[in-house]
Amino acid sequence: MSDVSTVQLSILQTPDADGRGNVLFLCEDGPEALVLKAYRRRSSRWQDYSEALVSRLLLRTTGRCAGARWRTELSANRLWAQHGFDVFRVVDKPLPRNISPPATWFEYCPGRVLRDLIRDQDVFWEEKMVFLRRLGSEMGRRHSLAMELQEPLLIQKHGTLEHVMISEERMITFDLEGSFRPGFDLLEALAQELSGYLRSIAKTTGDLCENSFKALASGYEDQDLLKKVVDWGVNGKTLYRHLTRRQDRRRRPINGKVAALDLLHRLL
């Protein structure tokens, strides 16, 4: 790659209308195309500070400020890759002089997010189910390892079909900016990730979500763990789980995370 001060960057993702949020740049100046992800503030400094306190002291989740999201994603990417889970490869390159940290170079992989592939009417249904079974397999393997190692960083905080990229033969999970801190109930964390994916699948497949849920579940190797996670999501007795179910039912009376867990609970 040429001198980092002179590389040509094109914008892949712009900030929100108010100027806040991450920016993604594409750099095709060199032997391989790279993506530069610049982590930027999503709220005011006071909101960042207050949310960091709530996250750390009450929710036991990682912070939402730009620096915290950058550190969390770097740590998660390296840990997932270490254990053989497909994520975008981090590239060790200096930042261009006009890009302020925190920012990270990643490999560029053209492809489609899994949500768009599942929605595509030109893709055969069985091919879609193959991808969902594969997703369930990878999720189940990762969940089992997270429980074995007692490692919350192996659990995806915001699991949706929009955060899975199909690039040729690869199935890449991305958006690992948020995670659960040590001490967070791992069964609760697993239920949160699984319910996020189930809700995303239900929204994407509509009336065909039952078969889609079955495909995902069939790929999950440890069926006893899967049943334990689903039962916890539906019947867990902690105050945290009770409030989570109550809030979700109020916010999402249709296509909610709890409703999706209820359906999978019945199917299992």
266 within a domain of the structure (yes/no): no
pLDDT tens sequence across 173-196? 999 999 999 989 999 999 999 999
200 within a domain of the structure (yes/no): yes
pLDDT tens sequence across 7-24? 778 888 876 756 678 999
Question: CB–CB of 108/189 below 8 Å?
Answer: no
Number of domains present in the structure of the chain: 2
Could you say which of 79, 107, 135 is where a domain stops?
A: 107
The alpha carbons of the chain give a radius of gyration, in whole angstroms, of: 19
Residue 154 sits in the same domain as residue 224: yes
The amino acid present at 238, given as its one-letter code, is: T
51 within a domain of the structure (yes/no): yes
**Could you tell me the CA-to-CA distances from 149 to 126, 156, 186 in Å, in that order?**
35, 15, 11
Residue 121 sits in the same domain as residue 254: yes
pLDDT for the residue 1: 41
For residue 21, the enclosing domain spans 9-107
Residue 141 sits in the same domain as residue 256: yes
Between CA 33 and CA 199 the distance in angstroms is: 33
Given the DSSP bridges, would you call strands 9-13 and 34-38 parallel, antiparallel or unpaired?
unpaired
Could you say which of 89, 107, 125 is where a domain stops?
A: 107
CATH number of the domain enclosing 126 = 1.10.510
Residue 77 sits in the same domain as residue 171: no
Residue 42 sits in the same domain as residue 173: no
CATH number of the domain enclosing 52 = 3.30.200
Please state which of the ranges 57-61, 70-74, 207-211, 256-260 shows the lowest mean pLDDT: 57-61
Adjacency order of strands within the sheet including 34-38: 9-13, 23-27, 34-38, 103-107, 90-91
